[in-house]
Amino acid sequence: MAASEKDEDEKEEEELRQRFMAPPVSGLRELRRRRRELRSRMELLIMETQGEVCRALAALDPGASFAVDTWERKEGGGGISCVLQDGEVFEKAGVNVSVVFGLLSEEAARQMRSRGKSLKAKDGKLPFCAMGVSSVIHPKNPHVPTMHFNYRYFEIEEPDGTIQWWFGGGTDLTPTYLNEEDAVHFHKTLKEACDKHDLKLYPKYKKWCDDYFYIKHRGERRGIGGIFFDDVDSPSKEEVFQFVKSCAKAVVPCYIPIVKRHCHDSFTPEEKLWQQLRRGRYVEFNLLYDRGTKFGLLTPGSRIESILMSLPLTARWEYMHTPPESSKEAEILEVLRNPKDWVH
């Protein structure tokens, strides 16, 4: 290798290190060596997304810092968990990356087959690779919404060597109180990301989000939605990857302006109490219905602390709590029971 090429390689490595929160699971040099392969490009994307989001959040909460926890999974792979707790702005903010591989558990395979996946195992064994970036952000101020996003890639290898692959993900907002300006900004930003690829995607994935984040036993959505999709394997691997990349790049611009607008708003003890009650609903959905949580708990060697990072530090359940009619609390409940179109 010529000296100039070596210098360029070292410069690129240093730039990547500065964008990441920790060395990637697969190793920086291995990723660069296989940079044209989609698995490597996806791992680079989730690493860069983790770094972008952590830096944006830390800039809003300068008195706090992210604890960076690198972990290994003995069955194959590992991850990087970045968690900020007890800041001035964020009570808890986690941004996790995981890259795991090995053999799919029968419970996890059964969950996938229940969604219509045709998975052919050999002697009950299914080699798999799964990677993604996932985040839940719980602010202190009840006028700043909770936000969640997750973007992931999955591969299954069948006995004849055939690779099944698909992408999934989404970004959604869970406000304690309804602010229509925030809702419109959030949804418009996600719509713009989708529209770059196909005008049909935003309405399709917006509805999917409203349907997915539904707390059946409460008859209400977890929040005011966003976009959600899963098992996407068309039109082509490259086209879906570019779509996922656009969505990941939309995370900071769809959320950070909302945090800046409200993080210093005044609030009452009653408003803080309502936030705690709404967080209880968040916990109920994540533990009872969330597909990612279930998959993680069913995967041998999973890191439980990282899976349950999505739960808030504090929440509350009161018996038969009902907000007064025509109150701000009742207003958000109406939207959670009857989703709105925020962009038309």
CA distance 99 to 114: 24
CA distance 256 to 155: 32
Nearest to 131 by CA among 52, 227, 288, 248: 248
Whether residue 138 lies in the annotated active site = no
Residue 190 token pair: 């996600």
> Computed over its alpha carbons, how large is the radius of gyration of the chain?
20
CA distance 208 to 332: 20
DSSP string, 195-211: HTT-TTHHHHHHHHHHH
Catalytic-role residue among 148, 185, 187, 262: 148
Beta bridge partners of 77: 100
Residue 1 token pair: 């290798």
Residues 6 or more apart whose CB falls under 8 angstroms from that of 230 comprise: 115, 166, 168, 169, 291
By annotation, the residues acting in catalysis are: 148
